[in-house]
Amino acid sequence: MRRWAVIGPGGWDAAAVRRSAAAARDLAGLDARITGCRACPRLVEWREQVARDRRAAYRDQEYWGRPVPGFGPADARICVVGLAPAAHGANRTGRMFTGDRSGEWLYAALHRAGLASRAASVGVDDGLRLHGVRITAAVRCAPPANRPTPAERDTCRGWLDRELALLAPTLRVFLVLGAFGWTALWAALRAAGHPVPVAVPAFGHGVEVAVDGLGVHVLASYHVSQQNTFTGRLTAPMLDAVLARAVALAARHDPDGPDGSDGPDSSDSSDSSDSSDSSDSSDGVDGR
């Protein structure tokens, strides 16, 4: 059953986000706290307006209309970091990258890589299971024009910080979709005190960085937005290749597999929350 929470008297701001996130003892508790967040007035107004007005094609559906938590098991070895939910995608369905073309691309690729039980994500009750991978986002609410502001990203980062801390015992690879998420992830790792490079490498498809002392690798991919997939900037083979690299790196750290290579799909765990990130056709900013 989906859970959500609201903050007590005093209101929401970045400090309240950090306090609430820090109080979460597990991912299920964190997800419940995320769904009650009202820290960014512009995002709250937009997500709720979209949920009230609805797109004609979805007029008979009840929109989620709240912040979208992560999707995937608590013992994930790979974490996919996107930008933000789409107004009529995850803001409608309540699951990351679900209900839009971007999600069609991502889940099909995850399925080909052995990381998802099926090639399509339709809604929170469709039975889809992720294997060894969790999907999250830099910003949890659908932004107007698919463009959250840097201030909104920074306010929301308390949720990402805590999610990464809870995933840390098993997490070995980050796969970041797009430049916006790339910036957010490095800020989160630095804030957590991890030994990240002083000069973070520029974002680019296929960029790979080993974080010394943390035992993780960070990979970059162009975002699965339509402005990239429709134009051929990102192709299915390109996405498959970066996912294959993520799987190989995660397997290298798996002590149970031969050669350290049981692979992320060896864990058939279900998601700890049943929701998270998506975008309509572009997941915001420049989609790169």
Question: Which CATH number fits the domain that encloses residue 186?
Answer: 3.40.470.10
Does 280 map to a domain?
no
Number of structural domains the chain divides into: 1
- 74 token code pair: 């608590």
pLDDT band, residue 260 (cuts 50/70/90): very low
Does 134 map to a domain?
yes
Q: Which domain holds residue 21?
A: 14-266
β-strand pairing of 78-82 with 173-177: parallel
Does 152 map to a domain?
yes
| Cα separation, 207 vs 219, whole angstroms | 6
What pLDDT score does 258 carry?
Answer: 36
In the three-class reduction of DSSP (H, G, I as helix; E, B as strand; rest coil), residue 286 is classed as coil
Question: Which of 4-13, 70-79, 195-204 is modeled with the greatest confidence?
Answer: 70-79
Q: Answer yes or no: is pLDDT of 2 > 60.
A: no
| Cα separation, 222 vs 179, whole angstroms | 8
Does 52 map to a domain?
yes
Does 8 map to a domain?
no
Does 78 map to a domain?
yes
Query: By C-alpha distance, which of 172, 229, 177 is closest to 207?
Result: 177
Q: Which amino acid is at 166?
A: L
Q: Answer yes or no: is pLDDT of 155 > 80.
A: yes
User: Look-up: residue for tokens 């990464």?
Assistant: 164
In the three-class reduction of DSSP (H, G, I as helix; E, B as strand; rest coil), residue 177 is classed as strand
Does 18 map to a domain?
yes
* Gyration radius from the chain CA atoms: 17
Does 89 map to a domain?
yes
Higher pLDDT: 276 or 115? It is 115
